[in-house]
Each structure stands twice: as C-alpha cells, then as structure tokens.
Amino acid sequence: MSAVKKTAKASLLLLSAFVFIIIGVTVYVYVNMNEFLKPLIEDVGSRALGVDVTIGDIDVVIEEKKVTVSDIRIGNPQGYKRPEAIKIKSIVIAAESLGSDLLLFDRVEVHETNVNLEVKQGGTNLGDIKKNIAQTTPQEQAKPKTDMKVIIRDVYVRKAQLNPSVTLINKDLAYITVPDIHVQGVGEKENGIVAREAIEQVLAAVIVELNEAANHAGFLEGLSLDALNEIGVSTVEVFKKNLKKAYDEDVKDLKEGVGSGVEALKGLFSSEEE
C-alpha cells in the first residue's frame, strides 16, 4: 500500500472517530439534559428572585424545540410562615429559533399556579419578592453581560389560584381563581435581554397582576396606601375598590331601610283591620 493510500486511510479513520465522538457527546448531552439544565435554571431563578427556586423535572424535545419544566417551587422570603410562596405544576416553552447568540421563544405557558399570599403590616410576601427582583447587587452590576440573549413573544399564566394563607383581617377568606395573565414582548425592544432579566420582567408583571386580584378580593385590607402602592397596587384601584365598598354598603342600608318601612306599613294596616 502506497504512502498516499495509508495517509488517506488514516485520515478517514480519524474523521470517522471524530464524527462518532461528536455523536456520542451529543447523545450524552441529550440524555443528560436534565442534569445540565436543572441546576442552571434553579441557580438563575434563585438569583433573579432572591429566594430559593427548585424544579422537579425537565423534558427537552430538541426536534420540536420544546421544553417542559414540572413542579416549580418558589420559596418565601425571610419572615414569612409558609415554606413556599408559589408552586407551579408545569411551564411549557415553545421556541421559534435557537441561535448561538439569541434564543427566541414564541410562547411560554404556565399551568396551574398556586400562590400562598401572606400579608404583614408592612407588606406581603409577593411584594417582598417584587422588591428582590428590583434590586441588583453591585457584583451583578459589574458582571460582564456575556449571557446569551432571550426574547419571549408571549407568556400566558393560566388557572392561577390565590390562597390568602395569612392576612390582617380576622375572618375566613376563600381562595380565588385569577383571570389568565398575558405578558407580551419580553426583550423585543432591546433585541434580546439576558435570561435573568427576562425572568425578572415576567415575574414582576405577574406579581403586580396577582396583587391587583388580591386587592379586589379584599385580601389586602389593613395595609396602608403606601404599602399597597409599593407592591404595585395603584391608588386608582384602591379608590375604585373603596368606592364600590361604600356603594354596596349604602345599597344594603337602603334595602334594609325600605324593608323596615314596608314592615312598618304592614303593621299599621294590620292594626287598622283589627
């Protein structure tokens, strides 16, 4: 065999070995995707929210560009009774394109969210998480923005249940089902933002909606106007709720007054007949 043929054969063997190595690594990464992604998501989520974030399982379907994350648990800030503020059954993420520099997600659906609302004199557990999101440590500010960029076109939070586990009012309150929440265009104007910032934007918007729903349901009674404004409940919403409450009380008093008047008239006519 000539030297040229030997060299060609050796090159072919090396190329074949290299191809099999790539295939083997790809298969290994795919099979062990959960091990790679799970700690990464937990770490990014925990740093973004300032509380412990854990997930149960991840299912990645590369061909469909689809990721399903199950059993997400967001811990409570310090000073609250329950171990968790939010539990989510599953999050389904559908990607449009997965480039080397930019991840473009078409749709994110959050299913069956269970929120334990705790209210203290100075605010709520959701409000404190919102404060954590707004705060950025000096170390994070100085960190180079080398993270991969993210755009999320639409986020839907469906069938969220809000449980008033601890409130300032001394009466039993039933849970409420929050109307579907829709967040649009995360990172679109900036042509992509880092994953931590995307999580912050989505959670901040969702928490504001949850606080608004809690206020309408009367779960936040006893909080000052400043505390309500701080957690994202607007002065206008508070005014509208108080106005409705006053209206309902006036209607109730009017009905009771009319009822008393009718009974008095009935008594008068009954006396005359006798």
- Averaged pLDDT in 10-residue chunks for the chain of 274 residues: 60 64 57 73 87 90 87 93 93 85 90 93 89 66 58 93 88 89 93 87 89 88 82 60 44 50 49 47
pLDDT at 166: 85
pLDDT at 222: 84
Whether 228 and 215 have beta carbons less than 8 Å apart is answered as yes
pLDDT at 268: 45
pLDDT at 86: 94
Of how many residues is the chain composed? 274
Q: Around Cβ 44, how many Cβ atoms within 10 Å?
A: 17
Whether 145 and 194 have beta carbons less than 8 Å apart is answered as yes
Whether 174 and 127 have beta carbons less than 8 Å apart is answered as no
CA distances to 69, 151, 185, 190, 200 from 102, in Å: 20, 8, 15, 12, 18
The pair of three-digit structure tokens given for residue 137, joined into one six-digit string: 């440590």
Global pTM? 0.71
pLDDT at 262: 45
Compute the 3-state secondary structure of the chain and give helix, strand, coil in percent, each to the nearest 5: 50, 30, 25
